[in-house]
Amino acid sequence: MKKLFILAFIFYYSLTTAQSIAKDTLLKRDIDLVIEEVKFMYDYDQALREYTLFKTFDKSKTDSIENLESDLTRKYIVENKFKSDTLSKHIFKNYINHFDDLHTKRIIELTKKYGFPSKERLELYSQKELGDEFNPYILLVHAPKAYWEELKVLMKQELLDGTVDRCKYGHLLWHFNGRKDVNDLLNNGFEYIEDEDGTKRLSAVNCD
């Protein structure tokens, strides 16, 4: 029985490794196309959400506002918010939530084919820097609830395959479980860190 278990484990490990190598090869081959598509989804995601806060698509302006001290940023948002919630709700329903659904479907398809297209993997295979802000991970954070169960299974496999680290997996799991259980974070590389003023905050520590 023990020998059968060992053989089964070796077979599973070999199969998983072969699949991972195949996905890496595909990603390397199609890297430019994948980057273009993922970057489009990411930029759309961020631009629409920023518009609901700052009422502009001008990236230089939104960046300048975000770089203000936090109290000044909040003041700007309050003073420039929509006069009615109607438009904001319309934007979320028809332009954000709708495309969150489309983007989630597509990122799942890409992940099944290439492995999760993390910023690190995209930069590795393209040999290009994609910018400090760019992070495809946010597309999963914004995934609609209808996809959470599927994503739990998918991202667990991605963790095993090494395309996401332990902390990212834990943070995603926390989201997919409705942000209810801090143990999703504590069991996956996060720890409480005490600041100089005695305040404790959760921080990603052991992500490997």
Question: What distance in Å separates the CA atoms of residue 110 and residue 33, rounded to the nearest whole number?
Answer: 11
**190: part of which helix (H) or strand (E)?**
strand 190-194
Asked if 188 and 173 count as a contact pair (C-beta separation under 8 A), the reply is yes
pLDDT greater than 60 at residue 4: no
Ordered by start, the domain boundaries in the chain are 2-164, 166-208
Structure confidence at residue 197 as a pLDDT band (50, 70, 90) = confident
Question: 3-state class of 68 per DSSP?
Answer: coil
pLDDT tens for 102-111 read 999 999 999 9
pTM of the model: 0.86
